[in-house]
Structure 1
Amino acid sequence: MADFLQNAIQSMSLEDEEPLTLPDSPRFRVIDENETSLLGRLLNPDCQSMARMIDYMPTAWRVVGRVRGIALSRDRFQFVFQREEDLQTVLKDRPWSYNHWAMTHERWTLNPPPMIFFSP
């Protein structure tokens, strides 16, 4: 399937009128998967271990086994929740900190507004 998609994209031109129909595959359901997730940033990554924070926060949030943490970079992370209620509780109870330093986080949105929050 990947070869089919790659060949179809390579053979496209500006004159083509027919749209490319993407298959209904989990690879194309990013919106559904991220709908119950939050993105965040450690504000002092020199003092905050990303791996330890990802291990610890589900315990602090009382959602162990119902959330998956992902390190996106040295200071940016994502948590994908299984239940909307858990995500809402975490967002309602903020601000949160880890290792005596603040961390910021916001709910994932399809079209986020430009923010300083995730600027380099």
Structure 2
Amino acid sequence: MMQGQWITKSGGKMVEGSKPGLKISVPRFDNFAIIANYARTLIGRFMNPSKQNMKMMLFMLPRIWQVEGRVVGTDLGLGRFQFAFDQEEDIIEVLRMEPFHFDN
């Protein structure tokens, strides 16, 4: 099947039909500021969310990393989290501390 086609049911049989193409224009915009806002952000997810505690992880990892007060942790839902660092040096140092695991 090609793009712009779909299968419909007609009289108990599956029939391939064609769909008129829609053209959507997206205006150009400068996303540099958006990218810059997330330059010092670390996003991750739990590999075993039924056994791991998000609140405890958000509380303990800044202590383990020794960046307490200079990073903000956020629960993004579905076992995902985000840490926003104040300084680029802090996130670089944290990324050097591999492997990355918490609570099994």
Match status 1:63 vs 2:67 = yes
- TM-score w.r.t. the length of structure 1 is 0.58
Aligned Cα RMSD in Å?
2.4
**Structure 1 pair 21/35, CA: closer, same or farther in 2 (3 Å)?**
closer
Q: 2:40 aligns with which of 33, 36, 40?
A: 36
Which whole-Å CA distance do the structure 2 matches of 1:89 and 1:46 have between them? Answer: 29
The count of residues paired between Structure 1 and Structure 2 equals 80
2:60 and 2:51 map into 1 onto residues whose CA distance is 15
In 2, are the aligned partners of 1:39 and 1:76 still within 8 Å (CA)?
yes
- Structure 1 ranges of 4+ moved more than 4 A: 19-22
**d(CA) in 1 for partners of 2:34 and 2:53?**
27
Q: TM-score scaled by structure 2?
A: 0.66
User: Structure 1 counterpart of 2:95, which letter?
Assistant: L
For residue 95 of structure 1, report the CA deviation from its aligned partner: 1.2
Structure 2 residue runs of 5 or longer lacking an equivalent are: 1-23
Q: More strand per residue: 1 or 2?
A: 2
* Larger helix share, 1 or 2: 1
Of the two structures, which has the highest relative contact order with CA contacts closer than 8 Å and spacing of 6 or more? 1
Distance 1:80 1:94 in 2: 18
Q: Percent identity of the aligned residues?
A: 38
Q: Deviations over 1:12-64 (max 9, x none)?
A: xx79xxx6989xxxxx9432221101110111111111111011100000000
1:83 to 56, 66, 87: 87
